[in-house]
Each structure stands twice: as structure tokens, then as C-alpha cells.
Structure 1
């Protein structure tokens, strides 16, 4: 059994990939790794409060390692911090790193290149699987998730703060991937077979925020692909969740 850490995003693809990895017993997952924004105490990209991340981890029962970045992290700083953290995991005898990516070739290539530099191999349990099959499997297993961020150029305010269910999927425009794999939306998983108990939360305000990235920002953001970048200099709806 290979010693591996899991890259935990707090969202649905991450949850399903972790579930599958734990079921197959090929990898020993004894650590979750999450990147956070230290200036706002929130999970990177998803904008989720750290308290909800910690509640997830407690319910899952696997230790967490956070990697903190400032909101204005440069490409050089990002690369240095990530390399330091991955190198420290190698010293702890981790040989594999597991992700929930599905079909973004450039993102996978980026991850594998960086991992190879420190001697770690990437693992992708959901890779190249049909996203409609993935979301149906996610729901059929009993997972529950809510959208916490949507790209406002692709989805309206009514899509943020929504539970992922059949009605939500039916209302998505045809141009939007049902798993949001192109960055159309991000989610928070609050219940399912991974959890010892559901995560209690309350829905707060919905806020429209704009972002403009320079080239250094684009290069330093490991969760963003060329396709996402084309629509990143725009607006995003966020739904603020708080732990009850």
C-alpha cells in the first residue's frame, strides 16, 4: 500500500475522489492537504470559511495540513512555498498525491510536472470519466453539496447557495459542465458516506466580487487553467456560509 496524501478542496469532486481512493485500498490516505488564503481565513478558490473546512476534516477523521498563501501571492512565492511543503511531505515518506481532477489536461500536466520535481507521483481517480456519470454517482452515494461560488459570466445569482440536486442540474445551461470542471462553479460538501455526521451550516449573504489577474497571478494559481483564465478577469458570485 502506497503512502499518499489527498488534496482536499472541500468540494464534490474532491469528496468523490477521496471516497473512491479509500474504498480501493491501493493507497494509504492519512493526510488531507488544503490551500488557504491567510489574509481572509478562507479556502483558496472556493472562498469558504476555514471553520467549515475544519468541521469537514473532523467529521472525516483524517488529519489536515494547510498551506497558506497571501491574497497577493506572486508566482515565485507560490512556487517556493509549494515546493517546500511537498519536499517536507517526501521526508515523511509520502510517495503519491491524489487529486479530484477530471479532464483538464493542462492542469494535470502542471501538477505532474511539479510533483515529479520532488519525487511524488500524481493519482487521479476520476480522470477522463464522464462528468454526468460522476455527478450521478456522487448523488446516488448520498453526498450532499451546496454551491459557494459561481462564475457570474456563465451563471446567475440564483445558482449560488443552491443545493446540488436533479433540479439544479436540469437548470444548468448546456454550455456549463455538470461538475463545473471548467471553473463554472465550486461547492461545499456537507454530508455523505465520508462523514461521521453532517456539517451544520447557515447561509449568509450573496456577494458579487470582481477580479483582475496579472500574468504572475495566473501562473501562481495552481487551480486555474488556460480555459478558466479566459473568463477569470470578470465577476463571481459568492455565498457566505457559516458554521452553526
Structure 2
């Protein structure tokens, strides 16, 4: 079987993509890789506490590897560290990198280019699936997920710290992708068919955080390499989840 590592965000798309891979049985997943903000010890963009990531991975049952980055890091720095990590995975004969991406063409192109530089290949189990149907199937399978970050330009405070269910979906504005694939919101998946047990937590405070862009921002990233933070995406609602 093909040996792979999984790019793990802790959110619903990662969880569903992992489920699909496990069902297909074409790949053997050796580890989950997650980017973590070294200053705050939280998952990049999601703002999820590292402790909850640890509990989540433990409940799923795979080895975990974390890459720690400063809150602001240039693309050059990011690419160099990622290349070193990918090269080490290649040396371990992990020839495939699995992602939960659905339809962001530029992001997929970027990923595939960087993987090819070290002889790896990207795998996208959810690619080009209808996002509304994906979310419907996700919920029908018994997965449970909560929003931990929303783009304040597109969604209000009432959408963060919400369990995703039919009511949540029905309340989304028409311009919002049901899976938040354009960066509208990020989630933490805490239960479902890939979990040995639910991850327990309490919902903490909701905070609005704004970021100031400057002339050098086009040379930096927020350690997830996605296009989530654009020139006009500078404010986000975060909901702190507290381990119990």
C-alpha cells in the first residue's frame, strides 16, 4: 500500500478527507502534520489551543507531528522549513501528502508544485465535490464540528462558537460557501466515525481580532499557505475552546 502523511488542520474538511481515505484503503497514513503558532501555541488561522489538537489526535489514534512558526513568517521562510520537512518525509518513504482541499485551484497548484520539488505527490479526496452535498454527507455520518474562527467581513459574531447543523447551514448568507472553502469560517471537529471518543471542551469567550496590513504583507503568510487572508480580510471573530 501507498504510504502517506496527512496535512491536518483539525477542522471538518480534514476529518472528512481522512474518513474517505480510511474507507478507500489505498493509502497507509503514518502521521498527521499540523502547523502551530509557536508564540500562542494555537493552530494557525483556526486559533485552536494546542492541547485540544493533542486530545483530538489522540482520539483519532494517529501519530502527530507539529511545525512551529512565528505569528508572522515570510513565504521564503515558510517554504524553506516546509521543504526541509517534506524532504524528511520523503526519506521516510512517505511519498504522498493528503489534503482536505475542495476547489481552490491556485492553492492546489501551489501545493503540488512544492511537493513535486522533493518528489512527493498530493492526494485530494474531496476535490471538486459539491460543498453542500459534502457537508450534508458529513453530518449524516455523525461527525460533529464547531466554528472557531469566522471572517468578520462576511459573518457576524453569532456564527462563531456554533455547532454546524441544519440551522447553521440555513442561516448562512447566500454568498457563503457551505464548507467555508473560501476562508469564510474554520472549524474544530470533535466527534465522528473516525474518533474513538468525543473530544471534550467548554466554549469560552468570543474575541474580535484585527490585523494591520503594511507594504511588506505580500511577502508574508500566516503559516497555513492558503489564500484565507487577503488584502480585505483583516478582521476575524475567534471563539476560544477550553479543554476539560
- TM-score normalized by the length of structure 1: 0.96
Matched residues, number: 241
Give the conservation status (yes or no) of the 8 Å contact 1:218–1:224: no
Corresponding residue for residue 193 of structure 2: 193
Q: How does 1:1-244 map to 2 (within 5 A)?
A: 1-213=1-213, 214-218=217-221, 221-224=224-227, 228-232=229-233, 234-244=234-244
| Contact residue 7 and residue 34 of structure 2 kept, 8 A | yes
Deviation at 1:75, TM superposition (A): 1.8
Q: Distance in 2 between matches of 1:189 and 1:86?
A: 26
Contact 1:218–1:229 (Cα < 8 Å) also in 2: no
Offset, 1:218 = 4.1
What is the DSSP-based 3-state SS (H/G/I as helix, E as strand, rest coil) of the residue aligned with 2:202?
strand
The structure richer in helix per residue is 1
Q: Is the CA contact (8 Å cut-off) linking 2:73 and 2:221 kept in structure 1? A: no
State the Cα distance separating 1:162 from its structure 2 match. Answer: 0.2
In 1, distance between residues paired with 2:128 and 2:231?
Answer: 23
8 Å contact from structure 2 (residues 71, 223) kept in 1 = no
Residue aligned with 2:117, SS:
helix
What are the Cα deviations for residues 3-57 of structure 1, in whole angstroms up to 9, with x where unaligned? 0001110000110000000111110112100011001000011010000000000
Q: Which secondary structure does the structure 2 equivalent of 1:169 belong to?
A: helix
Task: Quickly say closer, same or farther: Cα 1:212–1:110, change in 2 above 3 A.
Answer: farther
SS class of match (1:174): coil
Contact 1:76 1:220 in 2 (8 A): no
Structure 2 gap segments, 5+ residues each: none
Q: 1:205 to 1:219 in 2, by over 3 A?
A: closer
**Which SS does the other structure have where 2:241 is aligned?**
strand
- Aligned-residue offset at 1:72: 2.0
